Structure 1
Amino acid sequence: MTDAASAFDLPDGQALAALVAGKLCHDFISPAGAIGSGLDLLKDPTAQDMRDDAMGLIESSARKMIALVAFARVAFGASTSAERFSGGELGALVAGLTEGGRATLHWRVADETFSRAEARALVNLAYLAMAALPSGGAAVAAARREADALVIEGLAEGPRARLKPEATAGLAGRPLTEGLPGQWIQPYWLWLTVADAGGALEVNVEEGRVALLARMPN
């Protein structure tokens, strides 16, 4: 890769793998670094009065890391033996990742089973609906079966609900010509997951409202 434009012109498997790896490293570095800082405090003989704070930092950061890994295994990877996932299981993955944020998530997905591709689309779409609410608000993730398709909906409503230009490009399956690759890859990954399954992804952005809808053949 020599520049952003050429890197995203027609991303192949190797380029996509590098971008996903970069996204995951970016997500993991914060809790991993916090765990390291907490361990340093525990070992510092001059900071023993901060032992409880250090243990709290390690505990919360470890929970965050575990939630990130569990989510990433379904959202990005195939490093799980499961071929089908329950709605409750997927809801717990998204909740673990978004817990403590400014926005709230309402999970309206029946506890039925979903294929690996369906699960990947569902958790990514739910996460991106939450990510559209940087200043808080409410997001809804829902799924329903129709005669010939699974319909997944994500609705985000809040005072500053929006999609960044990189996310808009990714959700439309367009290459990134400028902006941050890390903000593009997950939306593009969702589009690619839905498209590879023979489905379609719709995006609607209004003031204070972002709606995402994926339709995947049964």
Structure 2
Amino acid sequence: MTATSPSAIRAVDLAALVAGKLCHDFISPAGAITSGLDLLKDPSAQDMREDALALIEQSASKMVALVHFARVAFGASTTAERFSAEAIRDLAEALLAGGRARLAWRLEVQDLSKVQARALLNLAYMTVGALPSGGEAVIEVVAEGEEIRLAGRAAGPRARLKPEATTGLAGEVLIEGLHGQWIQPYWLWLTVTEAGGRLAIHTQEDQVALTCLMPV
């Protein structure tokens, strides 16, 4: 895979890719809600009424979790300028519940700025995403002098980052591959570096570690 220099992407293209990522995430629960409603309206499918209601309820909860996640991970999230680490944990767990990976938190710092909260939420999402076959994702928030360290460690069978994610985390523009797999890692890199921070990746067999160091 080849790439151009870091951050060489127009703002309008970045906005379009973020919007595309969000639409892709929303379409699945939205479609499931529509399918459930169609079943409820079908006179020949009344024996599936309970299944339809369960599908609608589950998908609506997923949609709400996605909206709350996206407001902080990609948007401005109302007028809030500070977040508690526990609030970010709750947002991540609501979205990632039911997956194969176990998610553990070590929160030594509680008060986060908006940009730190955005980085943490995306970091947690990506750490869990590095475990396609399950395993454990550990998220840490630790103060280190004048910096705060946000770390995600994924350990499990086949733990890995996709090539597009590695490109995005390096701040490089994708030339070949799927932009849907690239945009969120790039967004994390952009969030951290524009705040004056640094992002590092370490991978080995069945393990992935992501570390963001950001100014307090």
Q: Percent identity?
A: 62
Counterpart Cα distance in 1 of 2:83 and 2:92: 13
Aligned to 1:170: 168
Alpha-carbon displacement from aligned partner over 1:119-147 (angstroms, at most 9, x marks no partner): 00001001100000000000000011121
TM-score (norm 1): 0.95
User: Which consecutive residues of structure 1, in runs of 5 or more, have no partner in the other structure?
Assistant: none
Counterpart Cα distance in 1 of 2:108 and 2:39: 45
TM-score (norm 2): 0.96
Aligned to 1:99: 97
Distance 1:111 1:48, change over 3 A: farther
* Deviation (angstroms), 1:79: 3.8
Counterpart Cα distance in 1 of 2:178 and 2:89: 28
Q: Secondary structure at the match of 1:114?
A: strand
Alpha-carbon displacement from aligned partner over 1:37-72 (angstroms, at most 9, x marks no partner): 000000111111100000000000000000001000
* Deviation (angstroms), 1:9: 8.2
Q: Secondary structure at the match of 2:63?
A: helix
Pairwise CA RMSD = 1.4
Aligned to 2:141: 143
Aligned to 1:209: 207
Runs of 4+ aligned structure 1 residues displaced above 6 Å come to none
Counterpart Cα distance in 2 of 1:59 and 1:45: 21
Distance 1:111 1:37, change over 3 A: farther
2:7 and 2:171 in contact (8 A); partners too: no
> Which residue type is aligned with residue 99 of structure 1?
A
Query: Which of 72, 85, 95 pairs up with 1:87?
Result: 85
The number of residues matched between the two structures is 213
> Which residue type is aligned with residue 98 of structure 2?
G
User: Which consecutive residues of structure 2, in runs of 5 or more, have no partner in the other structure?
Assistant: none
> Which residue type is aligned with residue 179 of structure 1?
G
Higher relative contact order (CA 8 A, sep 6+): 2
* Deviation (angstroms), 1:107: 1.5
1:67 and 1:96 in contact (8 A); partners too: yes
Counterpart Cα distance in 2 of 1:79 and 1:15: 22
> Which residue type is aligned with residue 167 of structure 1?
A
Counterpart Cα distance in 2 of 1:127 and 1:171: 13
